[in-house]
């Protein structure tokens, strides 16, 4: 059975591109959304985080995290949501809706459970080397 996945991504991210490829090869149809222009309310964004601890909500490769400007370990939920809403690049990617399930980050074990089929593991991708932070020109 084909599963529909709403996939919130950072455009031109090599890791997100690989995740989409994995989902498509698992028989999924994707509806792609730009995470940086997500249009979610703070309450809606919180629903993707589930039982994850606050630091797990954050993309560890985000510049403000890597340079130490933001330390997710010291934030409470309210502070974290304010930062994520103000600067969506901080959100751990992808956000996904699969059926009634909402996920933050690509956990192939959890995705496999939801889809009730094997989903291949995500290879390690260094987004800095793959040009994730570069904007591609349209044309």
- How far apart are the C-alpha atoms of 104 and 53, rounded to whole Å? 11
- Per the residue annotation, which of 13, 28, 104, 132 is the catalytic one? 13
3-state secondary structure (DSSP) of residue 106: coil
Active-site annotation holds for 132: no
**Following DSSP, what letter does each residue of 31-60 receive, concatenated?**
EEEEGGG----HHHHHHHHTT--GGGGB-T
The catalytic residues are 13
């Amino acid at each position: 059975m084909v599963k529909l996945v709403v996939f919130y991504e950072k455009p031109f991210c090599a890791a997100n591109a690989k995740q989409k490829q994995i989902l498509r090869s698992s028989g999924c149809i994707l509806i792609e959304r730009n995470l940086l222009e997500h249009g979610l309310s703070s309450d809606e964004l919180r629903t993707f985080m589930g039982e994850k601890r606050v630091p797990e909500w954050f993309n560890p490769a985000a510049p403000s995290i890597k340079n130490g400007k933001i330390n997710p370990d010291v934030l409470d939920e309210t502070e974290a949501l304010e930062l994520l809403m103000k600067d969506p690049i901080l959100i751990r990617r992808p956000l996904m809706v699969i059926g009634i399930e909402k996920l933050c980050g690509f956990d192939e074990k959890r995705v496999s459970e939801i889809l009730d089929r094997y989903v291949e593991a995500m290879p390690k991708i260094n987004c800095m080397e793959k040009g994730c932070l570069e904007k591609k020109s349209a044309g």
